[in-house]
Amino acid sequence: MSEVSSTVFVVDDDTAVCRALTRLIRSAGYCVESFESAHEFLACHPYFKDCACLVLDVGLPDINGLELQNELNAANSVLPIIFITGDSDVATTVRAMKAGATDFLAKPVTDSDLLPAIENALQVSSQALANRTELDGIHGRMARLTPREREVLALLVEGRPNKQVACKLGIAEKTIKVHRARVMEKMEAHSLVDLVRVIDKVCTPLAHGQRA
């Protein structure tokens, strides 16, 4: 079942194929935007903030499908790609899949192959966007910490008790307790285990040498 906010992009330089794919995908209830070149696609959609996937022809004349995939990966895009081709080879398929493609389909593409591939790609997109939103939220909460609080956070997630943190930073244990409470509040963590779990998700190096 399609998501209301989901969009399927189709990029294929064969006008007839592009139109046929667009009709098929739209008939399944998806929003569809089609393009006949990679440049046209990139000009209209340089960034992707909503749930979407890309049905992409390998043999495009300007930037080929694999080159477009590389460009999107370099831009940290989370847009899942379903490759289609009329002249596939094992090396191309392997290269595309290793670079993150969700499917690689041979032309002529049937609805029984394409529609499940699209549904799978949109699920991948939805999860990727949820993960990115969560990480952005964590980074935003970390940005609220003072340099001293970041030092305390770094030592807390190492498992150091308050007394060791105080000794390491050269300040009173009661002051560490205050910083610890502020760290927990700003990071919206209910326990030390919760705090460690959150920090593990971002894997951000924490400075030990700064002082507030």
pLDDT in tens, 125-179: 999 888 988 999 999 999 999 999 999 999 999 999 999 999 999 999 999 999 9
Distance of alpha carbon 4 from alpha carbon 62, whole angstroms: 32
Torsion sign across C-alpha atoms 75, 79, 82, 86: negative
Question: Which pair of structure tokens corresponds to residue 154?
Answer: 């770094």
Q: Which CATH number is 144-202's, of 3.30.9.10, 1.10.10.10, 1.50.10.10, 3.30.70.3040?
A: 1.10.10.10
Distance of alpha carbon 182 from alpha carbon 173, whole angstroms: 14
Helix runs in 28-110, H state only: 38-44, 65-74, 90-98
Q: Which CATH number is 7-132's, of 1.10.10.60, 3.40.50.2300, 3.40.50.720, 3.40.190.10?
A: 3.40.50.2300
pTM, rounded to two decimals: 0.74
User: Parallel, antiparallel, or unpaired: how do β-strands 52-57 and 7-11 relate?
Assistant: parallel
% of the chain residues with pLDDT over 70: 91
What does the pLDDT look like over 98-136, one tens digit per residue? 888 999 998 889 999 999 999 999 999 999 888 988 999
Domains 7-132 and 144-202 are alike in CATH topology: no
